[in-house]
C-alpha cells in the first residue's frame, strides 16, 4: 500500500509538469504547514512506537504529496525520514527520484528533488542536476541554496574564492528568507526568487521612507 500511494504522488508530480509548472516558494503553503503542525508535531509523535511513527509519517507526507504535488516540503521531509530512519529503503527512493528526473528533464522541481536525494552519496551528480534546475528556472531559489550548502563545505570547489562566493550566496539566501516573513505572503515567492538570482534585497518596512 505504501508503494502504491508513493507512486500516485510521483505520477501527480509528472502529470503537473506537462503544463507550465508551478514552482515552490520560500515556505510551504499555509494548508500544508497546518497539516504538518497538527499531525507531525514532536509531541504527538513521541507518544507512538517507532513503527507507528513511521506509518504516520508516510501517511501524512504521501497524502500531502498526492494533494499538493508541486509543494516541496512533504518531499523533503519524506526523503529525510527515509534517509535517517528507514535506511534500507533509501536506495530504492533514490532510484525512484533519479528516474523521475530522467523522465522530466525540463522540470526544475524533479531535477531538484533528484539532487536532494542524491546529495551525499552521489554529490557530483547532485551538483549537475542542481545546475540544470537553476538553468531551467533562474528564479527557483532552492537549487541555488542547495548548491551554496554543497560548495560551502569546500569539497567540491577549487580555492578560497569559490568558497567565499558560495558562503556569500548562503548568507544572502538566509537574509532573504528572514525578510520574507515581514512582507505580504503573496510577495514571498518574488522575494525568494530575487534572492536566488543575487538581486538587491527587498526593502523591509520603513526602509528608505523619508519623513
Digit-coded pLDDT (tens) for 157-188: 654 445 545 555 555 555 555 555 544 545 54
pLDDT band of 203, cuts 50, 70, 90? very low
pLDDT band of 14, cuts 50, 70, 90? very low
C-alpha cell at 157: 570547489
Torsion angle of C-alpha atoms 126, 129, 130, 135, degrees rounded to 10? 160
Q: Which residues of 113-146 are buried (b: 16+ CB within 10 A; e: fewer)?
A: bbbbbbbeebeeebbebbebbbebbebbbbbbbb
Q: Are 189 and 28 in contact (CB under 8 A)?
A: no
Indicate if the pLDDT at residue 204 is higher than 70. no
Name the least confident of 46-60, 73-87, 125-139, 141-155: 141-155
Smallest CA-to-CA distance from 195 within 25, 70, 41 is with 25
- Rounded Cα distance, 175 and 188, in Å: 13
pLDDT single digits (tens) 130-154: 999 999 999 899 999 999 888 888 7
pLDDT of residue 17: 35
Amino acid at each position: 500500500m505504501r508503494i502504491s500511494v508513493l507512486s500516485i504522488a510521483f505520477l501527480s508530480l509528472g502529470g503537473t509538469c506537462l503544463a507550465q509548472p508551478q514552482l515552490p516558494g520560500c515556505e510551504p503553503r499555509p494548508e500544508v504547514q497546518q497539516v504538518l503542525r497538527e499531525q507531525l508535531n514532536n509531541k504527538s509523535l513521541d507518544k507512538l512506537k517507532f513503527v507507528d511513527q513511521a506509518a504516520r509519517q508516510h501517511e501524512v507526507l504521501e497524502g500531502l504529496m498526492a494533494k499538493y504535488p508541486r509543494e516541496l516540503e512533504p518531499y523533503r521531509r519524506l526523503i529525510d525520514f527515509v534517509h535517517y530512519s528507514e535506511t534500507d529503503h533509501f536506495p530504492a527512493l533514490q532510484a525512484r527520484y533519479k528516474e523521475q528526473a530522467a523522465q522530466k528533464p525540463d522540470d526544475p522541481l524533479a531535477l531538484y528533488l533528484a539532487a536532494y536525494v542524491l546529495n551525499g552519496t552521489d554529490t557530483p551528480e547532485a551538483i549537475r542536476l542542481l545546475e540544470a534546475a537553476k538553468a531551467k528556472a533562474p528564479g527557483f531559489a532552492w537549487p541555488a541554496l542547495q548548491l551554496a550548502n554543497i560548495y560551502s563545505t569546500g569539497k567540491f570547489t577549487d580555492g578560497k574564492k569559490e568558497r567565499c562566493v558560495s558562503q556569500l550566496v548562503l548568507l544572502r539566501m538566509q537574509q532573504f528568507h528572514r525578510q520574507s516573513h515581514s512582507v505580504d505572503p503573496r510577495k514571498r515567492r518574488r522575494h525568494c526568487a530575487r534572492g536566488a538570482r543575487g538581486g538587491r534585497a527587498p526593502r523591509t518596512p520603513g526602509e528608505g521612507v523619508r519623513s
